[in-house]
Amino acid sequence: MKKDKQEKNRENDLLKEEIKAMRAHLMGLQQTIREKGLPIIVLVEGWAAAGKGSLVNELISELDPRFYNVFSPAAAPEAEARYPFLYPYAKAMPENGKIMFYDSGWMEDCVRKLLRREITWDTYKKRLRAVNEFERQLRDGGYLVLKLFLDIDKDEQEKRLRALRDHYETAWRVTEEDLWQHREYKLFGKAYEDFMDKTGEVIPWHVLDGDKKTRAAHKALKLLIEMVEKALEEGRYVGKPFEEDFPLQKLPKLADVDLSPTISDEAYKKELKKLQKRLGELHNVIYRKKIPVILCYEGWDAAGKGGNIRRIARPLDPRGFDVMPIASPTPDELHRQYLWRFWKRLPRSGHICIFDRTWYGRVMVERLEGFCSEDDWKRAYNEINEFERQLTDWGAVVLKFWIHIDQDTQLARFTDRQNTPEKQWKLTDEDWRNREKWPQYEEAIDEMLQKTSTENAPWFIIESNDKKYARIKTLKIVIEALEKAIEEKL
Amino acid sequence: MKKDKQEKNRENDLLKEEIKAMRAHLMGLQQTIREKGLPIIVLVEGWAAAGKGSLVNELISELDPRFYNVFSPAAAPEAEARYPFLYPYAKAMPENGKIMFYDSGWMEDCVRKLLRREITWDTYKKRLRAVNEFERQLRDGGYLVLKLFLDIDKDEQEKRLRALRDHYETAWRVTEEDLWQHREYKLFGKAYEDFMDKTGEVIPWHVLDGDKKTRAAHKALKLLIEMVEKALEEGRYVGKPFEEDFPLQKLPKLADVDLSPTISDEAYKKELKKLQKRLGELHNVIYRKKIPVILCYEGWDAAGKGGNIRRIARPLDPRGFDVMPIASPTPDELHRQYLWRFWKRLPRSGHICIFDRTWYGRVMVERLEGFCSEDDWKRAYNEINEFERQLTDWGAVVLKFWIHIDQDTQLARFTDRQNTPEKQWKLTDEDWRNREKWPQYEEAIDEMLQKTSTENAPWFIIESNDKKYARIKTLKIVIEALEKAIEEKL
């Protein structure tokens, strides 16, 4: 017996030595990670009192605090409940060259809500799918993702919870939720297993024995270093495009769109008044029923996006909507997965968000100007469909408008802008440059409309040679969609 | 009688005509406001059911929605309760060239909390002071601020609340709070008056008669346009520096600091272990008592800031602290008042935030590199003292460290970095350039230390020729301050 213990101690000492060496090694790797701009995510899930916090502490102890962050859902504002469930995690994704540790994350979130019956089995399955999509998109965008599960058995958990509660200093750490988990240990065990089963294909899970703290820290460090070194050796990963089966709506090619429809001034005024009144009423209902609404505007320069948006915004209660003009990404946006800047701009439930240009920049300007690789934009069709499905699964109404004109109309409007002093600011050299690339853009837009007009988040081509006609058409589409969403939520 | 009514109608029609013309005029001004980069704040306060929302709607109805935003505290996440009371309003300040409408704001916040007895009379007075400081800082930073109060009498309020409650569609808009205000109409009236009395000196209040909606909208538009045109004529305002009386602590000049103190390796190890253990314990208490802690690091290049921060961070629970490295401002930060980027990074109560460089950049690098005007950085001493007093009034512990070395030590460390491959990244050309400006920096730093070492948010000069000595000294200061704060909160 005594020899066994000595053996164990020796082994432990050896592990500790190695941990020390690995920590120093990881510290040395920091600068390379920063230079190469590798973003790293370490997800630490596991049982209550399994030592998730301590494990994170072990991992970061030699790291430069400017170089990592720890995200803890416990510290996430309650208000995030009014966003899609992945929102807090997506918003916290690290920028290139940094590490984000999630001290429990989307796994605990899904499992706990399922067992608490706060979500249905059907919602749970959709969330599993979203998790797989989210993790794959991160990986394909060059993120390194390490997923750890810290395991302890029921007796060990009891011992630890008891020890925590026995001390005044630590008693507050044991929550009602933890005790409930302990009582329902078996149920949780099954649920954790199920979750890992169904989310291990893209990024594998690593189960660590929380009972043996030193060994767990050792293994975690080893996995982290291996992952980083592999990436440094092989270079930043770029995911290959692939197509998933989304139910798509067939849209005409832009060249085949009849742009002749117009509306008389008189009819326009009458319709506008009626439709805006109706939209104002619906906004109230949307707000009370907490339905999130996302309106996406894309279109040719000078097609009339701004005026169209203004007609939608006019009757809305300003406390309940936002217009998000999307310009070139800022540095902190450029250094993260490309959807991040849209994740963080999502509206709260019950609010309307109008995006003036959107994530579709990826498959238009970024594609044509070479701001991303071919794999990147080809992969984006599918990634965007997934992203939008996550939004509609959350309950959002997502409508996408392509504000369409022909080349002659654009030229006439450019010329008008050039000749009207108050409008000159609207016309830039870039507009003229983009105009020269009309055929390439048309090809990209046609492809985009074909590949991303899903049933849940459809595109609408808005004929805007007559801007008034375009506004009325858009208003009608929005109203119809909101009425449908309200009816479905009754 | 009948003639009177006709007269009134004619008057109303006239007002409406003028409103239409003013709206068109304001729409025309938009582009100039954008070009000149004028940031505009319109604060709309007033009685419940006085028509604040409608008034905002009147003002924005012709504006480009990309050009303004409406902030409504009702829509602010509950979590903001754990920040200084001005936090949500400061975070929402518009960027240059945009308008932010506050659909009720800091006035309602202060008055309601006072009458609800959620804050003491003493806290209320401090908040009044903070409001005056905040508004003056905005004005001095070139913001245009318009403050409106929408007034209705008790009978009118009753009529309106009743009308709202009588309709299913609008009944939800009347809150318990509103009914309580109505019952306590007289009390509220006095409190509003008191608030306006005490906050009207820097930016005047304009009281509008909410009973006469058209007239109120007319006056608001007129005031807004006058304010904008005056600013366009006179150019962007830059506030003059002035000195308020803050209780200051006397600090030595940098040249007089004795940099010889050292610590033995043995003593260092022992002390470090002991102090870190203690700091870890205190972090727990801080967390539970919801005391916010803000640690500010400034210092010469290569003085050892990073290593010092790491020794503080090591024993902290990563869920309860953040390190904020402050680099050059991003475009959206540059286009707002200079303290905005720090407002938005404040920790929640109970959390520790370590700023690696701070708002003091204003009076160091921005002063010396000419990134702001002389008036700007001279005004900043006072503005920063006010900002920090708002933080300590909120309950925060604010400690500021100047990590100090002499020129020889810096040269030795630069040379070492240059000759050590793993450290080369730490040394940039800018470091050498800054070194050449040592005397100018020393002068600026001496001035900063003299003018901003307030009793509530003191500076500590940390002798860091011996980095280990510096770390121990910093740890001791932090521990002592936390112990004091905890004791005071018992």
pLDDT above 70: percentage of residues in chain B: 98
For the ranges A167-171, A207-211, B4-8, B418-422, the maximum mean pLDDT occurs at A207-211
Angle made by CA atoms A319, A322, A324, in degrees to the nearest 5: 165
Decide if B319 and A70 are in contact by the 8 Å CB cutoff. yes
The CA distance from B390 to the nearest CA of chain A, in Å, is: 23
Q: Looking at chain B, which residue has its C-alpha nearest residue A331?
A: B330
The CA distance from A235 to the nearest CA of chain B, in Å, is: 21
Contact residues on chain A for B23, CB-CB shorter than 8 A:
none
Q: Looking at chain A, which residue has its C-alpha nearest residue B55?
A: A318
pLDDT-flagged residues of chain A (< 50): none
Q: Looking at chain B, which residue has its C-alpha nearest residue A332?
A: B330
Question: Which one of B66, B305, B352, B355 would you mutate to disrupt binding with A, by most A Cβ within 10 Å of its Cβ?
Answer: B66
Contact residues on chain B for A323, CB-CB shorter than 8 A:
65-66
Decide if B78 and A75 are in contact by the 8 Å CB cutoff. no
Assess whether pLDDT exceeds 70 at residue B43.
yes
Tokens 């209780």 map to which residue? B247
Which of A325, A263, A219, A187 minimizes the C-alpha distance to A462?
A263
Decide if B284 and A169 are in contact by the 8 Å CB cutoff. yes
The CB-based long-range contact list for B341-348 (8 Å cut-off, 24+ gap) reads B342/B387, B343/B87, B343/B90, B343/B91, B344/B90, B344/B91, B346/B83, B346/B84, B346/B87, B346/B292, B346/B294, B346/B391, B347/B292, B347/B293, B347/B294, B347/B321, B347/B322, B348/A75, B348/B79, B348/B82, B348/B83, B348/B292
Which of B483, B296, B487 minimizes the C-alpha distance to B387?
B296
Please state, in angstroms and as integers, the Cα–Cα distance from residue A85 to each residue in A110, A199, B144, following that order: 9, 16, 39
Decide if B422 and A31 are in contact by the 8 Å CB cutoff. yes
Tokens 């390439």 map to which residue? A440
Contact residues on chain B for A281, CB-CB shorter than 8 A:
169
pTM of the complete model: 0.84
User: What average pLDDT does range B270-283 have in this prediction?
Assistant: 96
Which of B441, B439, B435, B299 minimizes the C-alpha distance to B368?
B441
Decide if A318 and B356 are in contact by the 8 Å CB cutoff. no
Rounded to 5 degrees, φ, ψ at B92 are -90, 5
Decide if A288 and B172 are in contact by the 8 Å CB cutoff. yes
Contact residues on chain B for A57, CB-CB shorter than 8 A:
317-318
CA distance A78 to A82: 9
CA distance A301 to A410: 7
- CB proximity list for B173: less than 8 A, separation 6 or greater: B164
| Helix, strand, coil percentages for chain A (3-state, nearest 5) | 60, 10, 30
Give residue B78's pLDDT band: very low, low, confident or very high (50, 70, 90).
low
Decide if B332 and A332 are in contact by the 8 Å CB cutoff. no
Which pLDDT value is given to residue A132? Answer: 97
B343-397 residue pLDDT tens: 999 999 999 999 999 999 999 999 999 999 999 999 999 999 999 999 999 999 9
Decide if A306 and B169 are in contact by the 8 Å CB cutoff. no
Decide if A75 and B320 are in contact by the 8 Å CB cutoff. yes
Orientation angle between helical segments A467-488 and A265-289, nearest 10 degrees: 30
CA distance A307 to A468: 9
Decide if B288 and A31 are in contact by the 8 Å CB cutoff. no
Decide if A320 and B75 are in contact by the 8 Å CB cutoff. yes
Tokens 């007129």 map to which residue? B222
Which pLDDT value is given to residue A375? Answer: 96
Contact residues on chain B for A34, CB-CB shorter than 8 A:
425
Q: In this structure, are residues B96 and B34 in contact, taking their beta carbons and an 8 Å threshold? A: no
Question: Which one of A64, A108, A173, A282 would you mutate to disrupt binding with B, by most B Cβ within 10 Å of its Cβ?
Answer: A64
Q: First CA to last CA across chain A, in angstroms? A: 69
The CA distance from A406 to the nearest CA of chain B, in Å, is: 25
Decide if A65 and B28 are in contact by the 8 Å CB cutoff. no
- CB proximity list for B335: less than 8 A, separation 6 or greater: B37, B39, B95, B96, B97
The CA distance from B287 to the nearest CA of chain A, in Å, is: 11
Assess whether pLDDT exceeds 60 at residue B174.
yes
Contact residues on chain A for B425, CB-CB shorter than 8 A:
31, 34-35
Given B53, B317, B325, which is nearest A53 (Cβ)? B317
Decide if A65 and B317 are in contact by the 8 Å CB cutoff. no
Q: Read out DSSP for B356-390?
A: ES-GGGGGTHHHHTTSS-HHHHHHHHHHHHHHHHH
User: In the A/B pair of chains, how many CB contacts fall below 8 A?
Assistant: 98
Which pLDDT value is given to residue B459? Answer: 98
Q: Read out DSSP for B63-131?
A: S-TTSEEEE-GGGS-GGGGGS-TTHHHHHTPPPTT-EEEEES-HHHHHHHHHHTTSS-HHHHHHHHHHH
The CA distance from B32 to the nearest CA of chain A, in Å, is: 10
Two structure tokens written together for A2? 């005594």
Contact residues on chain A for B77, CB-CB shorter than 8 A:
77-80
Decide if B331 and A330 are in contact by the 8 Å CB cutoff. yes
Angle made by CA atoms B6, B11, B16, in degrees to the nearest 5: 125
User: What average pLDDT does range B325-341 have in this prediction?
Assistant: 93
Assess whether pLDDT exceeds 70 at residue B73.
yes
B89-139 residue pLDDT tens: 999 999 999 999 999 999 999 999 999 999 999 999 999 999 999 999 999
The CA distance from A288 to the nearest CA of chain B, in Å, is: 9
Contact residues on chain B for A61, CB-CB shorter than 8 A:
314
Q: In this structure, are residues A202 and A136 in contact, taking their beta carbons and an 8 Å threshold? A: yes
Considering only A100-109, B59-68, B197-206, which range has the smallest mean pLDDT? Answer: B59-68
Q: Looking at chain B, which residue has its C-alpha nearest residue A72?
A: B319
Which of A469, A445, A455, A433 minimizes the C-alpha distance to A256?
A445
Which pLDDT value is given to residue A8? Answer: 84
Task: Compute how many other C-beta atoms are within 10 angstroms of the C-beta atom of residue A110.
Answer: 21
Tokens 């939008």 map to which residue? A388
Please state which CATH class domain A2-234 belongs to: alpha beta
Q: Looking at chain B, which residue has its C-alpha nearest residue A328?
A: B331
Contact residues on chain A for B57, CB-CB shorter than 8 A:
317-318
Which pLDDT value is given to residue B2? Answer: 64
User: What average pLDDT does range B277-297 have in this prediction?
Assistant: 95
Two structure tokens written together for A44? 């630490």
Architecture of domain B254-488: 3-Layer(aba) Sandwich (3.40)
Decide if B35 and A425 are in contact by the 8 Å CB cutoff. yes
The CA distance from A157 to the nearest CA of chain B, in Å, is: 21
Considering chain A, tell me which residue range(s) the CATH 3.40.50.300 domain(s) occupy: 2-234, 254-488
Contact residues on chain A for B65, CB-CB shorter than 8 A:
309-310, 313, 323, 354
The CA distance from A320 to the nearest CA of chain B, in Å, is: 8
Decide if A79 and B78 are in contact by the 8 Å CB cutoff. yes
Q: Looking at chain A, which residue has its C-alpha nearest residue B82?
A: A77
CA distance A111 to A115: 6
- The answer for B46, left when phi > 0, alpha when psi is -120 to 50, beta otherwise, is left
CA distance A329 to A343: 13
ipTM of the complex: 0.72
Strand partners, B102: B43, B71
Task: Compute how many other C-beta atoms are within 10 angstroms of the C-beta atom of residue A182.
Answer: 19
Q: Which helix (H) or strand (E) holds B414?
A: helix B407-419
The CA distance from A337 to the nearest CA of chain B, in Å, is: 19
Given A66, A331, A356, which is nearest B330 (Cβ)? A331
